[in-house]
Amino acid sequence: MKPLTRRIHYFDRHWFGSASELCRREETPTPSIILIGCPDHGMLPHGLPVQNPMSFLVAQWLGFAIPPFTKRCSETVEALEEAVLGHEVTDFIVCSHTTCGICQNWLAVPSNSKKAIGSETMTPTLEFIDKHYDDVFDMERFGLLLSEHVLLQLESLIEYHFVRSRLNDGRLKLHGWVFDEGTRRIRAYDALVGDFVSVESDACASVTT
Ligand SMILES: [Zn+2]
């Protein structure tokens, strides 16, 4: 896995929560964790190594792109804000996965094609990789796409006041995950390291049976 280029994302490490703690957290009476993911990842969060699936609100859509902040709010963001305001949401997860057929298709599409389904959501990430990474092999490019797409969506998310204010006062935590379906392990973004690291949690592993 090609390491991420550091210093191109600027996250406060205090905004991030512990993946292992979240995985083993007890169920909450109402959903408290918003999970944003890919529609070909199956019925999330089932399949993920979490012990509290009823605590999740799941949003899956093609490209799972969160639009950057503008004065005109998008329906996607309005729905997320409504969910945050309507529930006691404590965590936001953006999750990609290693068998993502949609991302594989995007990589196979010629870069000048405008007609690929979802290309408008993935093109910014591919352009971002081209700008910041040199000498990338095809498999590395796929790994970077999974990782950087998650981080770019988190960067968009924190532009919104309903997210940023809650991060700053500690009511909300972020999580950037890549789920490896081969090992059934989560790799979570560590803002201190500046890269995704395997979640060292026996609890996470033990609930994958
Ligand atoms: Zn997918």
Q: For residue 42, how far is its CA from the centre of ligand 1 (angstroms)? A: 9
Going by DSSP bridges, is the β-strand pair 195-198/56-60 parallel, antiparallel, or unpaired? unpaired
What is the average per-residue pLDDT within 141-162?
95
Q: Which residue segment(s) compose the domain that 190 sits in?
A: 13-194
Judge whether 201 lies within some domain: no
Question: Does the annotation flag 40 for ligand binding?
Answer: yes
Judge whether 178 lies within some domain: yes
The helices-and-strands tally (H runs, E runs) of the chain is: 7, 6
Judge whether 131 lies within some domain: yes
What is the average per-residue pLDDT within 134-148?
90
Q: For residue 14, how far is its CA from the centre of ligand 1 (angstroms)? A: 28
Q: For residue 180, how far is its CA from the centre of ligand 1 (angstroms)? A: 12
Judge whether 44 lies within some domain: yes
pLDDT at position 152 over 90: yes
Judge whether 79 lies within some domain: yes
So what's the pLDDT on residue 115?
59
Count of domains in the chain? 1
Which DSSP letter does residue 99 get? Answer: T
- Alpha-carbon span 175 to 18, nearest angstrom: 8
Judge whether 202 lies within some domain: no
To the nearest whole number, what is the mean pLDDT of the chain?
88
Q: What is the CATH number of the domain that holds 128?
A: 3.40.1050.10
Judge whether 206 lies within some domain: no
What is the average per-residue pLDDT within 71-86?
87
Q: For residue 93, how far is its CA from the centre of ligand 1 (angstroms)? A: 15
Q: Containing H/E element for 75?
A: helix 75-86
- Alpha-carbon span 10 to 177, nearest angstrom: 17
Which residues are within 5 Å of ligand 1 (an ion), measured at CB? 38, 40, 100, 102
Q: For residue 38, how far is its CA from the centre of ligand 1 (angstroms)? A: 5
Question: Does the annotation flag 12 for ligand binding?
Answer: no
So what's the pLDDT on residue 209?
36
Question: Does the annotation flag 73 for ligand binding?
Answer: no
Please tell me the pTM assigned to this model.
0.90
Judge whether 204 lies within some domain: no
pLDDT in tens, 10-68: 899 999 999 999 999 999 999 999 999 999 998 888 889 999 999 999 999 988 999 88
